[in-house]
Amino acid sequence: MAQDPPPAHGRNPQLHQKDEHVYHEFREEAALLNFVLTRDIPIPHPLLPPPAPENIPFDTIGTLFTGRDEILRALRESLLAADAAPGTVPGRSVVQLIHGTGGVGKTRLAVEYARRFPDGYTARLFLRSSSPGAIDESLASLAGLFLLNLPEQDEKETEVRIAAAIRWLAAHPGYLLVIDNVDTQEARDHAATLLAKLPPGHVLLTSRLHTWHFGNPQRLAARRFPYISYTERVL
Ligand SMILES: Nc1ncnc2c1ncn2[C@@H]1O[C@H](COP(=O)(O)OP(=O)(O)OP(=O)(O)O)[C@@H](O)[C@H]1O
Ligand SMILES: [Mg+2]
């Protein structure tokens, strides 16, 4: 009785192809799982409302955060007070400039604020802002899969993704946005332009620069920019 020839390399090629296919699918799933697990991305529970989007890059340092209780409280109070202050332009962003010399603890203050006061914010977002390009890239990346997850996330044009992110903010007023390390004049001017476009929310802006002009006062009332400025260095 005639027998089938033995499979190439000792294996049935068709079976081998199927194995490869399954193997590739498995690898893709494993990569996705690995991505989710290593990034600590919250998995939505079907019965709970989806968590507010958040990309604050550091966790709280808890009790290691010292000497800033008062300034943290002042920051909170001034943001809330500015929301309610008479004479403020309705619908404008409230911006707190956290100014100080390098290493003084500006970013940490903004991070601790974001970690300790999550309630009521529609999102807590963080922009790395050392240059105009970094601000744009950071803003565009908010549209991404594990954050705002917008339909435009795969668009090539940075401007399209930025516009989508700003549209999301407009549709979800009451966000917190940290614009961090705006330390060059170019980055400052770019951030000021961005501020003028932002829908209502709280903005924490950290910078070593102390000269800030917030653009057209008709659009952004100067009184909405109380600032925190301090120079003690954290040891
Ligand atoms: N209140 C604090 N208590 C304990 N550690 C702090 C405190 N503030 C800042 N630090 C720590 O000091 C270091 C410098 O702080 P941070 O990065 O916030 O400074 P910065 O002012 O943003 O600096 P740069 O101008 O370089 O951006 C970090 O390791 C931070 O965790
Ligand atoms: Mg910093």
| Domain definitions of the chain by residue range | 11-38, 62-229
DSSP structure class, residue 5: P
Residue 90's pLDDT is 57
Ion ligand 2, residues whose Cβ is below 5 A away: 106-107, 181
Is residue 99 within 6 Å of ligand 1 at its C-beta? no
Ligand 2 centre distance from Cα of residue 194 (Å): 19
Q: Are 152 and 162 in contact (CB under 8 A)?
A: no
Residues with Cβ < 8 Å from 163, sequence gap 6 or more?
152
Give pLDDT tens digits for 43-101.
Answer: 667 777 778 999 999 999 999 998 888 888 888 887 887 777 655 555 667 788 888 88
41: confidence class by pLDDT, cuts 50, 70, 90: low
Is residue 102 within 6 Å of ligand 1 at its C-beta? yes
Is residue 63 within 6 Å of ligand 1 at its C-beta? no
Ligand 1 centre distance from Cα of residue 106 (Å): 6
**And the tokens for 62?**
């808890």
Ligand 1 centre distance from Cα of residue 11 (Å): 60
Residue that wins the pLDDT comparison between 107 and 197? 107
Is the confidence at residue 219, as pLDDT, over 90?
no
**Cα–Cα dist 96/133, whole Å:** 22
Is residue 208 within 6 Å of ligand 1 at its C-beta? yes
Give pLDDT tens digits for 151-187.
Answer: 999 999 999 999 999 999 999 989 999 999 999 999 9
Average pLDDT over residues 97-106: 84
**Cα–Cα dist 176/54, whole Å:** 9
Nearest atom within ligand 1 for CA of residue 101: 25
CATH superfamily of 62-229: P-loop containing nucleotide triphosphate hydrolases (3.40.50.300)
Ligand 1 centre distance from Cα of residue 178 (Å): 15
Ligand 2 centre distance from Cα of residue 214 (Å): 20
Decide: pTM greater than 0.85: no
